[in-house]
Amino acid sequence: MTARPPAAAIPAVLRAEGISKRFGGVIALREVSFDLRRGEVHALLGENGAGKSTLMKILAGMVRPDAGGIVLDGRPVSLASPLAARQAGVMLVHQELSLVPQVSVAENIFLGALPMRWPGRLDRAALGARAQAILTRLDCDFGPWTIVERLSIAKRQMVEIARALVATPKVVMFDEPTASLTDHEKMVLFRVIRDLRGADVGIVYISHRMDEIFEIADRISVLRDGTYRGTHETAATDEDEVTRLMIGRTLDRQHHARRPPGAEVVLETRGLTCAGVFENVDLVVRKGEIVGMYGLVGAGRSEVAETLFGLRRPTRGEIMLDGRRFARLTPPEAIAQGIALVPEDRKEQGLILGLSCRDNLTLPLLDRMAAAGVLRPARERAVFDRYVQALAIRASGWRQPVQNLSGGNQQKIVIGKWLATQPRLLILDEPTRGIDVGSKAEIHRLIRGLADEGYAVLVISSEMPEVMSLSDRIVAMYAGRITGTFDARNLTEDRLVQAVTGVRDPAGVT
């Protein structure tokens, strides 16, 4: 067997040279160069808005650069369209799903390359067989003819990944691929990435999850404010050094002491049940308290939040808010009672993408923004300016369409929108999904500050370090049931894992 040459001697399969891109008054990239070797996983890191996704879209033919060039296999190329990039062997797995929801999984996987029979008819048998082979490789539990809109977000992400495996690519770029995946699906994805690396495919990997980066990447490059900041061999660096390159400072990782929560109960549920989804949920959240809800995807966490906000109708049980009993709530009633929900899917549930940043931020407050039935722009601008500053939202101005923001800045708009309602109970479902480490630290400080001010906070997260460091108490869910409520100060990861995988641990329950 031929020995693999030293990493530095492996030729680059892809090089971006001096790439610059401006969107209106915002400089997204400034003379950025980047190289990808054959058979390596090269992580690209940076804060939200640093230019990572823009660079990937340029390499995938979706955006034309203002300056600079691309070299593929040693030859300058013009990747003028996504089709041209795919034909050249450059594939992008999007962070924001680019599927057609109304058609089948198989048709989405082979979109643009459907197998045809003469004269111009779809070869359904070949399409189904080829799609099934890819789904089997990804260990998917749904079939090729399933309509995509019927799939969960996590399963749609697996379809997005499947599209990159249609042919043997030269380069595959993954933009936040695990944001919605279960641990099992992430394990399958990493196996596929290692297989591609073994076949000399170059992999670009974008993620805000440092544990993933240090597990899978060979090299790490960092962008900050649209400029290149450096590249390190993963084995020769650490998380603190990478973070300093990303945000220009070292994060404060110390535990933040907080005042003990008050005795006043803001939310209590008794026997809350949504048949077939979750049952007998007894939950208490007090004034000034952060309660974390942790469990595997499908455990029923998001569905509990949706029921509290009135998006689902419970089949039995009761909700108590400040001592008042409700059999159920509608969303307007929930808002009127001081409940705010930051949803898991910002794109489909949290934003109106065609509207401006200001209009999205003030959407729940239209009655307060008006006088004599007429909207007052000055009031809207005041709300926008306040939360842009408080959440460090990067936008060119209030008129910028929210769809043109980075994913992390979109998430900040959603959080700011609900904070502006000044709720008594703030429910955050995956509040830092797709957010960089610096912004995540800011969001965590904000959540702690809200609790210190007396807000009752319920945080749903699939990141164990987040829920353990942020919460005062943690509620574990498994298969639609609460399996334990823990004091976060005395909780170990092992005990929490046992609780969310169905292993009994009575000693851990408080």
Look-up: residue for tokens 């005062």? 472
Note the pLDDT of residue 348. Answer: 80
Q: What is the pLDDT of residues 247-295, one digit of tens each?
A: 776 555 555 555 666 789 999 999 999 999 999 999 999 999 999 999 8
Burial (CB < 10 A; 0-12, 13-18, 19+), residue 254, is exposed
pLDDT band at 30 (very low <50, low <70, confident <90, very high): very high
Mean per-residue pLDDT, 209-236: 92
Q: Please, what are the domains in the chain?
A: 7-247 (3.40.50.300), 264-338+425-510 (3.40.50.300), 351-422 (no CATH)
Distance CA 95, CA 72 (A): 23
Mean per-residue pLDDT, 91-101: 80
User: In the chain, count of helices (H) and strands (E)?
Assistant: 16, 24
Question: Which of the residue ranges 5-19, 228-242, 453-467 would you say has the lowest mean pLDDT?
Answer: 5-19
Q: Are 305 and 331 in contact (CB under 8 A)?
A: no
User: Average pLDDT over the chain, rounded to whole?
Assistant: 87
Distance CA 257, CA 12 (A): 48
Note the pLDDT of residue 396. Answer: 84
Closest of 350, 452, 445 to residue 407, by C-alpha? 350
Mean per-residue pLDDT, 480-489: 91
Query: Which among 113-127, 153-167, 268-282, 495-509 has the top mean pLDDT?
Result: 268-282
Mean per-residue pLDDT, 98-107: 90
Q: Look up residue 378 and give its two tokens.
A: 């000055």
Mean per-residue pLDDT, 45-64: 89
φ, ψ of residue 153 to 5 degrees: the values are: -60, -40
Q: Are 142 and 135 in contact (CB under 8 A)?
A: yes
Burial (CB < 10 A; 0-12, 13-18, 19+), residue 121, is exposed
pLDDT band at 1 (very low <50, low <70, confident <90, very high): very low
Note the pLDDT of residue 428. Answer: 95
Q: What percent of the chain has a predicted confidence (pLDDT) above 70?
A: 93
Q: Is the dihedral of CA 48, 54, 60, 62 positive or negative?
A: positive
Q: What percent of the chain has a predicted confidence (pLDDT) above 90?
A: 48
pLDDT band at 95 (very low <50, low <70, confident <90, very high): low
Q: What is the pLDDT of residues 295-319, one digit of tens each?
A: 877 789 999 999 999 999 999 999 9
Outline where 46-123 has alpha helix (H).
Answer: 52-59, 82-87, 105-109
Note the pLDDT of residue 14. Answer: 95
Burial (CB < 10 A; 0-12, 13-18, 19+), residue 429, is buried
- In DSSP notation, 140-185 reads -SS-TTSBGGGS-HHHHHHHHHHHTTSS--SEEEEESTTTT--HHH
**Is 4's pLDDT higher than 80?**
no
Note the pLDDT of residue 507. Answer: 47
Distance CA 416, CA 413 (A): 5
Burial (CB < 10 A; 0-12, 13-18, 19+), residue 150, is exposed
Distance CA 52, CA 175 (A): 9
**Is 406's pLDDT higher than 70?**
yes
Q: For residue 298, what are the CA distances in angstroms to 15, 76, 135, 479?
A: 41, 47, 20, 7
Note the pLDDT of residue 508. Answer: 47
Report the residue count for the chain.
510
Note the pLDDT of residue 15. Answer: 95
Number of Cβ atoms within 10 Å of the Cβ of 297: 17
Mean per-residue pLDDT, 221-247: 90
H-run or E-run covering 441: helix 437-452
Q: What is the pLDDT of residues 411-465, one digit of tens each?
A: 889 989 998 998 999 999 988 877 777 777 878 888 888 898 889 999 999 888 8
Note the pLDDT of residue 8. Answer: 60
Q: pTM score, two decimals? A: 0.68
Question: Which of the residue ranges 54-63, 159-168, 194-203 would you say has the lowest mean pLDDT?
Answer: 159-168
Note the pLDDT of residue 295. Answer: 87
φ, ψ of residue 12 to 5 degrees: the values are: -80, 130
φ, ψ of residue 276 to 5 degrees: the values are: 85, -5
Question: Which of the residue ranges 266-280, 346-360, 400-414 would you say has the lowest mean pLDDT?
Answer: 400-414
**Is 49's pLDDT higher than 90?**
no
Q: What is the pLDDT of residues 165-206, one digit of tens each?
A: 887 789 999 988 887 777 788 888 999 899 999 999 999 999
**Is 96's pLDDT higher than 80?**
no
Percentages of the chain per state (helix, strand, coil), in multiples of 5: 35, 25, 40
pLDDT band at 74 (very low <50, low <70, confident <90, very high): very high
Note the pLDDT of residue 256. Answer: 53
Q: Are 349 and 411 in contact (CB under 8 A)?
A: no
